[in-house]
Structure 1
Amino acid sequence: MSTSAETAAQLIYAPNVQYNTSLMTVKFIASCFAGAVAGVLGLENWSGFALFLVSTLFTSLCIHVINCKGSPSNYLPQGLSDLLNPGQDNAFTFVLVWTLFYGIVHG
């Protein structure tokens, strides 16, 4: 007889976990790149965050079409909402890289 913890552990399939990790890595790298672009272009205030929003939407669209083949619910627990969520780490990384490149180029 299996307990609820064992049942939950059986739902974790290693190839899916590895695939989801690579999807989050793509979103992280896209966030770093968008921060670098915002810094080099010298964007300030809301225009920089607008670039982050556009970058997040474009990255999510590319992952939705290319990696998830149009059905993100097969790969992510909450489906499309997980895909569109930029994540706290990615937002902070964007701001960090943005300020770094802004300081290097325009400082």
Structure 2
Amino acid sequence: MASTADPTAQLYCLPNVLHNQCLTSVKFISACFAGAAAGILGLQNWRGFALFALSVLSTSFVMYAVNCKGKPSRYLPGGIGELVNPGQDNIFTFILVWTLFYGIVHVYE
């Protein structure tokens, strides 16, 4: 029976991988809510992207403090870099939801 004392082996353990997929889902939902907020507020240009950056940082901080207990390298293969990385899909999701809500709310302005 394999021992899980090795930190690199713990990164590829099935429960840890499933937990990392849950963290990815949290990042995705955060990008959706940030896009909706930016669209409803009518933010344009860099202000919308500033809201996205703020949401990525706040989500990463919460995951750092709550889920990773201050040691992200123990739970994620990339450590803090993986935790703060917004991901290409999340950026595109943010832009899609941002433009959708902006178009719905501010169509007649």
Unaligned residue ranges in structure 1 (runs of 5+): 1-8
TM-score with structure 1 setting the length? 0.89
1:54-73 pair list within 5 angstroms: 54-73=54-73
Q: Equivalences for 1:1-107 in 2 at 5 Å?
A: 12-107=12-107
> What CA distance in whole angstroms lies between the structure 1 residues aligned with 2:44 and 2:81?
28
Q: Percent of pairs identical after alignment?
A: 64
Q: TM (normalized to structure 2)?
A: 0.87
What's the offset of the Cα at 1:13? 1.1
Q: Output the CA distance in 1 between the equivalents of 2:58 and 2:12.
A: 29
Q: Distance in 2 between matches of 1:21 and 1:75?
A: 12
How far apart are residue 85 of structure 1 and its match? 0.4
What stretches of structure 1 move > 2 A for 4+ residues in a row? none
Give RMSD over aligned pairs.
Answer: 1.5
Q: Which runs of 5+ in 2 are unaligned?
A: 1-8
Q: Which amino acid aligns with 2:102?
A: Y
Rounded to whole Å, the distance in 2 between the matches of 1:78 and 1:23 is 13
Residue 12 of structure 1: CA displacement? 2.6
Task: Report what 2:3 is aligned to.
Answer: none
Distance 1:88 1:69 in 2: 26
